[in-house]
Amino acid sequence: MNEISLPYHLIIPSIISILILGIVFYNRKRLFKSGKWKLFWISLTVFFAIYLLIVGGATYSDISSELTLRKFDLNGDGFFNGDEITTEQRKAMRNVISDTGRNFSFLTGLIFSGIIAFFVFGIGKITELIKKKKATHNNV
């Protein structure tokens, strides 16, 4: 158990989210100025920020649980036997093995982030329509 297996299915989406958020942050003055695309860019930023939190958290949890389990391998052979098997080791092993939620977080994160971003976009559009109606009503 010399090396930790990196969860590439979680690391790659995290890196992509960081890159996209970096690009949006770099171009924020041009993207977030008032215009018809402003709400789209806000929603996109919300999507990738929430997605990064979900997938990044799962990545951190996966790596930290493997590091915790690695502490119990006293002779470094990658197997647990005799003195290495304790109740704490069993808990750590169960945490590493029971990782369905972490492994599917890149999919559930897409769904959850998409729903939240959709609501942000929808509420923004409704707010714009209300402001336009008030402006036309006040001008009449």
Residue 1, pLDDT above cutoff 60: no
CA distances to 9, 47, 55, 138 from 40, rounded to whole Å, are: 27, 10, 22, 28
The model carries a pTM of 0.84
Calculate the average pLDDT of the chain.
87
pLDDT of residue 125: 93
- Per-residue pLDDT of 50-95, as tens digits, reads 999 999 999 998 888 888 888 887 777 777 777 777 888 888 888 8
- Would you state the pLDDT for residue 140? 64
What is the arithmetic mean of pLDDT over 20-29?
93
**What percent of the chain is helix, strand and coil (3-state, nearest 5)?**
80, 0, 20
* CA-wise closest residue to 121 among 44, 53, 49: 44
Residue 43 has pLDDT above 80, yes or no: yes
